[in-house]
Chains A and B, each alone.
Chain A
């Protein structure tokens, strides 16, 4: 009886880990059902199955709001997928105990693919293959610049420039300077990293990533202060705390209701989407900051760039080797070419040919990627710090917290999370 029961348990586990056939690779993500990414996923599946007879690739798309809950549940029930998608940074790092270390398996990719740090553990090993590169730039509406008497072809390069632009747009009174969606705290997240990109030295970025730079340090507090000041100066539209970033903020910008917005370079809210609405009026610049780190140049701001999303291999997978192969196939240049063309996501594989893109905004971003990238500060904070920064940023905008109080609270969370 005992033996029968454990055999049943074992069978169940195996069945769940590799449903139906033995040679089936199950992949979890929140993207494969997206029509823009459909041909990319089909191509990888087709090519991989052709190269590995008898193997079936099974994409399971999960809704994003429950994704990590389901993933955690499946992994702790020993029934996780063979391969799964993760956001780089805090989310990937929290799941390293469940991931296969890939160092020796992806050695051939290390040179052509970028974005590894967001998938690197404390032990220095890499645990996922990055797919896309994420970064923040400011998109602006040239028409609204013209309306306010500004030169649409001279976007701000310094903080003083930006202050002048916002003053002119405010004086015109038709639209707010920045569209700001901070309902989930993402507005403050993006702000944080764009400011840190120029206010911090490379060393300070490393210190922050390691938890050595406290939130109450002058370098970090300056960013908190800039957030409060921008809000007080009336740069943002009304009600940022009830505006969602990815729906309301960007849709407002696309309707031509705001002059600037801090957007992405991959996934959504990027050049491809904005071009569609603004056409030739879709401009882009790199966000300057009020103060400048010693290793940065005035008038030549840097932009935060990091590994966006990536595929990790379940350590418990019975097909781990095949899963690694598939992860590499998903990041291969030919497949990524389709991904880039269809979705506009900037691939982490530098072998992807981007020369045919004709969007001016995309061209500018691709050029900057080569030399203007610095770490994305918030991607190196722990999930707990980020969550608390979301909360504090809303209180700061509402005037319900002071910069000192917010920094003190964040210090406590940082200390707790880095224990």
Chain B
């Protein structure tokens, strides 16, 4: 960043104040979750806001066992990782083609993908489920991977298309001049150029898949995923909030750890694609 004007500096300091307040509000849930996960249910009911007085780790143990997190983690990791990789591959291919290549029905196919983004999930549940049954994919991890890919694909393709369409088409033409095949262009030019978008998509899709409850409930009925295990910790009408928050802390921990731990790499990755003007 170049030397900034003094007034601009001052402006940024002024903006930092409300931004810091917003940041505090974003940290509060983490405090809320940890603080309450350490309370007993009775302790929480009697004092919802106060700082935990007699912290107990019982909720974590109970949540781990009752939500069967040990077993379910494996399912979540496999299905999330599989779906995210598939999503990135399929969407970068499609996004590249839709944004950069010239072929028949290009606009129409883009509109089809865009339209599929607007379908409310509730209404496609029954036919979607019948399709899964007909393909014999119920209770299989591959079934869930395919389902996730199908559900989050429109968003991913659209994002990759939007991202690639900002890049100059000369990139493709120059590479073609050099004799590169289109597949090579995708692999050698488009994937590296698309790194910021791909990392962002990777993060968002990981979150969507990891946090999903509804699709997983339908497809994996015998072996569950972590979030379904957590969802089952909610009572019929009342919820044991400390137990639930303990479960959520456990379930969200891998995501938060990955995000915080790899923040540097993620930030660098997002910054790397900078186009020279």
Contacts and interface: CB of A to CB of B under 8 A. Distances in A.
Chain A directly contacts chain B within the complex, with at least one CB pair under 8 Å: yes
Interface of A: 8-9, 11-13, 15-16, 19-20, 30-31, 33-35, 58, 60-66, 69-70, 72-74, 76-77, 79, 245-247, 250-251, 254-255, 267-269, 276-277
A19 B66 contact: no
A13 B221 CA distance: 14
A185 to B, nearest CB: 13
Contacts of B62: 35
Contact of A19 (B125, B134, B139, B231): B139
B96 to A, nearest CB: 35
A66 B125 CA distance: 12
A61 B235 CA distance: 11
Given A9-B133, A70-B217, 5 more contacts: A11-B136, A62-B217, A74-B218, A245-B237, A269-B237
B232 A63 contact: yes
B151 interface: no
A81 to B, nearest CB: 9
Contact of B136 (A15, A61, A277): A15
Given A35-B66, A73-B126, A15 B138 contact: yes
B102 interface: no
Contact of A30 (B134, B214, B236): B236
Contact of B236 (A64, A79, A251, A277): A64
Interface string B93-126: 0000000000000000000000000000010011
A13 B237 contact: no
- Counting contact residues on chain B (CB < 8 A from A), the size range is 20 to 34
Given A66-B213, A70-B218, A251-B45, A16 B125 contact: no
Contacts of B232: 33, 61-63
Interface in B72-110: none
B241 to A, nearest CB: 8
B138 A12 contact: yes
Contacts of B23: none
A250 B237 CA distance: 11
From B222, B231, B233, B238, residue with most partner A Cβ within 10 Å: B238
Nearest to B47: A255
Contacts of B42: 276-277
B218 to A, nearest CB: 7
Given A15-B138, A64-B234, A69-B125, A77 B133 contact: yes
Interface in B190-241: 213-214, 217-218, 221-222, 228, 231-239
A66 B235 contact: no
Interface in B46-79: 46, 62, 66
Contacts of A11: 136
B186 interface: no
